[in-house]
């Protein structure tokens, strides 16, 4: 009786419940802010060769340069919509390194770099930002399919899409998974819960990422939900859920690798919350982060950004140096220059093109509109 009484008291102790929530999600961490390994066993568990480590930092540098160049192009009016990614290179690029070509990526609008490293040409990403139809053709330069859906503009909608594809992979017995990304603001959307709940109920092959970058546009994460950890929302749907230092590339990769193995083996989906920070504006569409943040806050996060610690780790191991990085930055920028030229050379769409691309079989009214605009050269 005493045990039941004590249990009942604990059940009705609401303060205890709040404390238990806060203490239930320790953060997975392998590197500290200086790039020093703080858990040798976890580092070994990641099974990353020197070549892998170099590939990961190259992905991260590619993402950073895409961010820098895309922002400049947007300011020049040569780029369409762009959501900056600086600060999220570990969360995005180290995680994506754990997946393969057979896996399906379901990105949000901030996840362009993950599609690019799956083989999607940068010139198509530029056209996507401009609203060109060829920007929604997911093939490589040599026309091989890229297993990615278009970046979702609707917040959290990619989670529902991911759940459906993940169930399809499971039913077909595929050794493949779907991996999907959203931000902290995405966890406030109904589609987020519907997606993880469906995937969980059917043990679908999915890995869901919540990039907790601090802000849903201008709303700080603390005002979005009372949940002390966004990973707790995965528990609500019965998913194994964990919190990772999102500026630690090794920890992010390790969590992603093991989550993929779990899901691909038919055990059901996993949710990973990566704690990172959005160092720039929400988008290039007029957002000013200094209206809701301080320079000091942003400056402190810049000191902890993921490229610093990954660079120091590799330099400490003697497999990376400043000259190698400078050479690779030049290589990436030359690639981006070449890809911009390709994008600029693509024939611009006309009004008639937009109508033709709306439906596979145009209605009679649309056919009349197409004929009218084509006769006017539009």
Q: What is the largest CA-CA distance in the chain?
A: 88
* 126 three-class SS: helix
Catalytic annotation present for 278:
yes
Catalytic annotation present for 229:
no
Rounded Cα–Cα distance for residues 363 and 369 (Å)? 10
Structure token digits, residue 262: 């779990």
User: Is the CB of residue 93 less than 8 Å from the CB of residue 113?
Assistant: yes
Rounded Cα–Cα distance for residues 375 and 377 (Å)? 5
Q: Which of 59, 229, 260, 278 is catalytic?
A: 278
- DSSP-derived secondary structure for 294-328: -HHHHHHHHTT-HHHHHHHHHHHTTS--HHHHHHH
Alpha helix ranges (H) inside the chain: 2-11, 14-23, 40-46, 50-75, 89, 95-96, 112-116, 122-130, 157-171, 190-201, 221-224, 232-236, 249-262, 295-302, 306-316, 322-345, 351-356, 364-375
∠173-176-181 over CA atoms, to 5°?
135
- DSSP-derived secondary structure for 156-204: THHHHHHHHHHHHHHHTT-S--EEEEEEGGGGGSHHHHHHHHHHHHTT-
**207 phi/psi in degrees, rounded to 5:** -125, 120
**139 phi/psi in degrees, rounded to 5:** -135, 160
Rounded Cα–Cα distance for residues 163 and 197 (Å)? 9
Residue keyed to tokens 């995680």? 95
Catalytic annotation present for 282:
yes
Q: Which of 59, 282, 293, 309 is catalytic?
A: 282
User: Is the CB of residue 253 less than 8 Å from the CB of residue 244?
Assistant: no
Residue keyed to tokens 């609500």? 236
Rounded Cα–Cα distance for residues 239 and 204 (Å)? 11
User: Is the CB of residue 169 less than 8 Å from the CB of residue 135?
Assistant: no
**Residues taking part in catalysis:** 278, 282, 292
């Amino acid at each position: 009786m005493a045990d039941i009484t004590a249990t009942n008291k604990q059940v009705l102790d609401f303060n205890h419940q709040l404390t238990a929530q806060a203490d239930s999600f320790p953060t997975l961490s392998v590197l500290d802010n200086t790039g020093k390994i703080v858990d040798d066993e976890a580092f070994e568990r990641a099974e990353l060769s020197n070549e892998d480590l170099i590939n990961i930092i190259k992905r991260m540098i590619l993402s950073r340069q895409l961010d820098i160049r895309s922002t400049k192009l947007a300011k020049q009016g040569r780029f369409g919509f762009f959501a900056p990614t600086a600060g999220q290179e570990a969360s995005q690029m180290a995680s994506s390194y754990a997946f393969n070509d057979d896996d399906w990526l379901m990105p949000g609008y901030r996840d362009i770099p993950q599609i690019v490293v799956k083989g999607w040409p940068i010139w198509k990403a530029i056209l996507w930002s401009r609203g060109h139809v060829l920007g929604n053709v997911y093939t490589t330069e040599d026309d091989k399919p890229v297993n990615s859906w278009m970046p979702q503009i609707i917040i959290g909608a990619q989670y529902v899409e991911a759940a459906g594809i993940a169930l399809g992979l499971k039913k077909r017995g595929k050794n493949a998974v779907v991996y999907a990304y959203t931000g902290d603001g995405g966890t406030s959307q109904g589609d987020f819960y519907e997606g993880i709940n469906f995937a969980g109920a059917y043990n679908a092959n999915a890995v869901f990422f919540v990039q907790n970058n601090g802000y849903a546009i201008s709303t700080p994460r603390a005002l979005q939900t009372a949940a002390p950890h966004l990973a707790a929302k995965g528990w609500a749907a019965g998913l194994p859920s964990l919190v990772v230092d999102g500026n630690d590339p090794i920890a992010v990769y390790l969590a992603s690798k093991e989550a993929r193995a779990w899901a691909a083996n038919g055990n059901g989906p996993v949710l990973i919350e990566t704690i990172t920070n959005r160092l720039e504006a929400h988008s290039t569409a007029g957002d000013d982060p200094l209206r809701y943040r301080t320079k000091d806050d942003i400056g402190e996060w810049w000191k902890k950004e993921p490229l610093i610690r990954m660079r120091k780790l590799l330099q400490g191991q003697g497999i990376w140096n400043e000259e190698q990085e400078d050479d690779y930055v030049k290589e990436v920028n030359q690639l981006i220059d070449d890809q911009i030229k390709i994008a600029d050379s693509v024939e611009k769409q006309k009004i008639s093109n937009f109508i033709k691309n709306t439906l596979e079989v145009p209605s009679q009214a649309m056919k009349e509109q197409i004929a009218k605009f084509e006769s006017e050269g539009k």
